[in-house]
């Protein structure tokens, strides 16, 4: 991308991916973006689980009742975790890391989608967090925020139109 504004306009949630794999160099760049993300008081409370195995991705796609199917078609998924004992703002810290993953992916021409896990349920009513925790052997005490799916885009979406920005949601000095 030429600049941040173009990157922000072009980053859209991509749920359909080609069969092409993501190069190890691109995976490294994406993970570096996450590891460079800021955290409150430099707590570094986040951690990441990278899943590339197609069978694991398929199983992971059943982690919640709706909205997780793109995981099965992804070439890679990154589970975003955090340790709340290290930061009272772990949700914010992990969210920043997740969006930086998505922005770095877009900058590389790779599609991504945020799959919300925290406060979601599987089809049988189990906590999506517990499903992911059990499947991946994540220790208790670590909280699962989301899963970012990644892959080469197999769908086109129009860039965000800045003319459609909802400026009425911006308040200056008071409500």
As given in the structure block, the two tokens for residue 146 are 């989301």
d(CA 79, CA 62): 14
The pLDDT value given to residue 155 = 97
Query: What share of residues in the chain are helix, strand, coil (percent, to 5)?
Result: 40, 20, 40
- Res 1 pLDDT > 90: no
Per-residue pLDDT, averaged over 117-144, amounts to: 97
d(CA 131, CA 121): 9
Angle between helices 24-35 and 90-107 in degrees, nearest 10: 150
The pLDDT value given to residue 74 = 98
d(CA 87, CA 141): 12
**Per-residue pLDDT reduced to its tens digit, 21-45:** 999 999 999 999 999 999 999 999 9
d(CA 120, CA 56): 20
| pTM recorded for the entire structure | 0.96
Where are any strands of DSSP class E within 42-109?
46-51, 76-82
- Res 2 pLDDT > 80: no
**Per-residue pLDDT reduced to its tens digit, 29-87:** 999 999 999 999 999 999 999 999 999 999 999 999 999 999 999 999 999 999 999 99
Distance, first Cα to last Cα, the chain: 35
Per-residue pLDDT, averaged over 13-25, amounts to: 98
Name the nearest CA neighbour of 21 among 59, 75, 74: 75
Percent of the chain with pLDDT over 70: 99
The pLDDT value given to residue 58 = 98
Per-residue pLDDT, averaged over 111-116, amounts to: 98
């Amino acid at each position: 991308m030429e600049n941040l504004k173009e990157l922000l306009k072009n980053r859209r949630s991509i749920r359909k991916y080609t069969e092409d794999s993501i190069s190890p160099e691109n995976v490294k760049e994406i993970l570096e973006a996450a590891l460079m993300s800021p955290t409150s008081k430099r707590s570094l409370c986040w951690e990441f689980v990278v899943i590339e195995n197609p069978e694991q991705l398929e199983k992971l796609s059943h982690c919640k009742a709706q909205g997780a199917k793109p995981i099965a078609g992804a070439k890679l998924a990154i589970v975003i975790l955090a340790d709340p004992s290290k930061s009272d703002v772990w949700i914010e810290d992990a969210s920043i890391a997740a969006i930086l993953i998505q922005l770095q992916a877009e900058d590389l021409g790779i599609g991504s989608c945020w799959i919300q896990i925290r406060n979601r349920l599987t089809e049988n009513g189990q906590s999506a967090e517990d499903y992911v925790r059990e499947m991946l052997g994540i220790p208790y005490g670590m909280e699962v925020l989301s899963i970012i799916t990644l892959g080469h885009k197999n769908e086109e979406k129009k860039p965000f139109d800045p003319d459609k920005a909802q400026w009425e949601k911006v308040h200056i000095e008071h409500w």
